Amino acid sequence: MPHNEAISALVSENTYRVWRIDLAGCAHAFAQNWVSLYQVLTCKAGNQEALNPTPWSRAYMYA
């Protein structure tokens, strides 16, 4: 991985190792179709622009 050293410099060796194991387990579970991931955004009814400034998509991140 290209950022191993930068990431491991931010946390303890134990935390870094736990993160790696957790991410490896997640990657394996996704590859086996054992888990799914859903993101749900809810807000109060009414004037959506005033109550919820969150965009409907993440297209702004890729512009």
- Residues known to be catalytic: 26
What is each CA distance from 27 to 10, 18, 22, 24, 57, in whole angstroms? Answer: 23, 14, 9, 5, 24
Contacts of 45 (CB under 8 A, 6+ apart): none
